[in-house]
Structure 1
């Protein structure tokens, strides 16, 4: 671990003596998060409605930082309540026709699969693709595209297998059949580089890898999406003929926190963050392999490494008893280190797994 990461490690004092490998569930807050959230209420307490001149500043800074990170125009970035709101906005903003299709992976997160009721109500259908093995997911989705496809909806990083999709490859294929690529990015944004060159809609809550708590999500509606979709929700923030999907005020205390978190991460360096996440995920996978466990997660991954055991609930409880905190979902053990973890954390995880197996 380089010197700057080593210093940063001290900023995340998780419970003494324990190893936290659950950032795919909730990320640990940056040191300034508490003060940032409180500052909104300090501003309003002192100025009332006149605090507007203050509360727009962190929102603007956070929007600009997200635009830099994603290399998109500032106007493409919006703030919403959660990832599901972004995907549901997209689903309700399409003019659906009989015969239209939405392609999703059958095992994807409910927030990716369930918003597409409007397509079915309009005479279309949702094509639920059997993803096969994790390394087959991307190809099977591509093979399901047809001239009838209006939307391909995917998780950038699958929440349970940890499989990362190539958004450029998917997006190019979507353009060939003239459909939209709509992406749930909550398990990717802040953990791995994100290229939106061929993506139309990208939504990601900020409480995981962006360390910024619940109640806020980033929603990116690219120019092509704004040309093809009509915003389903209208209010004072986007009266017609506006093509903006932000229809009302965002979670302002949450944006104070997102401003503080993205400032911290930007100063640390996104490249350093992504490299550390990738390195640690690789170390987890290698440690499992040395223990005779083949990870479910393929080489195309971000910060999640998953593996199967006979009784995942009991296995995770045994690791918890040994001071190592990981997740148990859909019968699998999910390990998700962030940049604030260390090689020593992975060693402790591996030792605990070895003890449980033994």
Structure 2
């Protein structure tokens, strides 16, 4: 099969791509044709068996958990299923035994779900240290410089939702261990777009509706050994009654897990290395096109994932005009954000570049 035939076959599974350049997987990844059948399997089972099908659903949950664990290179016991990324981060924040003088380090411009859960520390006499990130190339160094022996948690986005900057989790995790802090990570803009190494991460949360293409209502929460040793689960239920150190406290979204499992199986068939290579190559093509137009991307070329962002005058108007021309990108805080996935083609990126040039020139 030629590369062109392969891509045509892939794109046939994503009907929304027809006639448009959809470059907003950082907002929501597209559904593929097999997902409806996956969800229907669960509902057909409920219709025919009622609660007698519970063992089947639980086995499906275990299979999905194992797929996620293999993708992330962690034991299946570290993986829990929750409602979304925010639930995972709030669960971590409320599971710390806060003491006066404790500090939590965050980037001042990070996503609200990364910042606001940690006000729990302030209520106990601690301090939320908001780091001004400076230029994107300084973001990581400034976060590291803010760590002290009082730091209990460093909370970050693996990939910044606005600028697209990717952080080195190994470097951050090692620094956290030097001061006895936990590294807690929002991974929603990374998981499914780039390889993820959790060797030095304590808590990693991610919903599945972006780069994992699996819709809303399901979140993945990875709590490593160190997190389970230092945290006491804030929420308890029949799945983690004391003295359990597990954080998954209730039944997961089983229909969502059927969809996630089918999607992960589909992506495994595509091949994760191929997915990552395509995301990287397409993002680089966006970066090159924007730079060629004299627009300086905010996204560092050497520290990015699938998102490329750049500033322009009246970004909302530019994005609106691109949409009228069949090019789907998004505006975030004055930036135009472009996020291609493996199902996009080089023609999609070239169409974006051509239409962007026309919009900027007033044509």
Into which bin does the TM-score normalised by the smaller protein fall? over 0.9
- Between the two proteins, the alignment pairs up a number of residues equal to 358
Q: Return closer, same or farther for 1:94/1:133 CA change in 2, 3 Å cut-off.
A: same
Deviation (angstroms), 1:190: 0.3
State the Cα deviation string for residues 149-198 of structure 1 (Å, max 9, x = none): 00000000000000000000000000000000000000000000100000
CA contact (8 A) 1:12 1:28 kept: yes
* Separation in structure 2 between the aligned mates of residue 273 and residue 128 of structure 1, nearest angstrom: 35
Q: Which residue of 2 aligns with 1:350?
A: 353
Q: Indicate the residue corresponding to 1:211 in structure 2.
A: 213
Which of the residues 211, 228, 231 maps onto 2:230? 228
Query: SS at the partner of 2:350?
Result: helix
Q: Which residue of 1 aligns with 2:314?
A: 311
The CA distance in 2 between the partners of 1:109 and 1:273, in whole Å, is 26
Q: CA deviation at 1:5?
A: 3.9
Residue 327 of structure 2 corresponds to residue 341 of structure 1: no
In the TM superposition, residue 57 of structure 1 has moved relative to its aligned partner by: 2.8
Q: Distance in 2 between matches of 1:189 and 1:59?
A: 19
Please list the CA deviations of residues 258-288 of structure 1 after superposition, one character each: whole Å capped at 9, or x if unmatched: 0111110111111110110000000000011
8 Å Cα contact 2:11/2:17 also seen in 1: no
Distance in 2 between residues matched to 1:213 and 1:323, nearest whole Å: 23
Deviations 1:185-232 (A, max 9, x none): 000000001000000000000000000000001100000000110000
Determine which of 122, 125, 130 is the counterpart of 1:123.
125
**Corresponding residue for residue 298 of structure 1:** 300
Measured in 2, the distance between the counterparts of 1:23 and 1:309 equals 21
Identify which of 133, 136, 145 aligns with 1:134. 136
SS in 2 for 1:14: helix
Which residue of structure 2 aligns with residue 194 of structure 1? 196
- 1:297-321 alpha-carbon deviations (Å, 9 max, x no partner): 1121111000101101100011111
Q: Structure 2: where are the runs of 5+ without partners? A: none
CA apart distance, 1:289: 1.0
Is 1:323 aligned to residue 326 of structure 2?
yes
Deviation for aligned residue 1:11: 1.1
Structure 1 stretch displaced more, 11-20 or 36-45:
11-20
Deviation at 1:88, TM superposition (A): 0.4
Name structure 1 gaps, 5 residues minimum.
none
SS in 1 for 2:106: strand
Report the counterpart of residue 100 of structure 1 in structure 2.
Answer: 102
Report deviation, 1:3.
Answer: 5.0
* C-alpha distance after superposition, 1:60-96 (max 9, x if no partner): 1211111111100010011000000000000000000
Tell me which residue corresponds to 2:280. Answer: 278
Conservation of the 8 A alpha-carbon contact between 1:200 and 1:224: yes
Which residue in the other structure is 2:60 paired with?
A: 58
1:77 aligned to which of 72, 76, 79 = 79
**Which of 238, 247, 250 pairs up with 2:249?**
247
> Residues 337 and 15 of structure 1: is their aligned pair in 2 closer, same or farther, counting only changes over 3 Å?
closer
Q: Secondary structure at the match of 2:15?
A: coil
Offset at residue 2 of structure 1 (A):
6.4
Alpha-carbon distance in 1 for matches of 2:95, 2:285:
43
Q: For the residues of structure 2 that align with 1:194 and 1:326, how far apart are their CA atoms?
A: 25
Q: What's the TM-score once normalised by structure 1's chain length?
A: 0.98
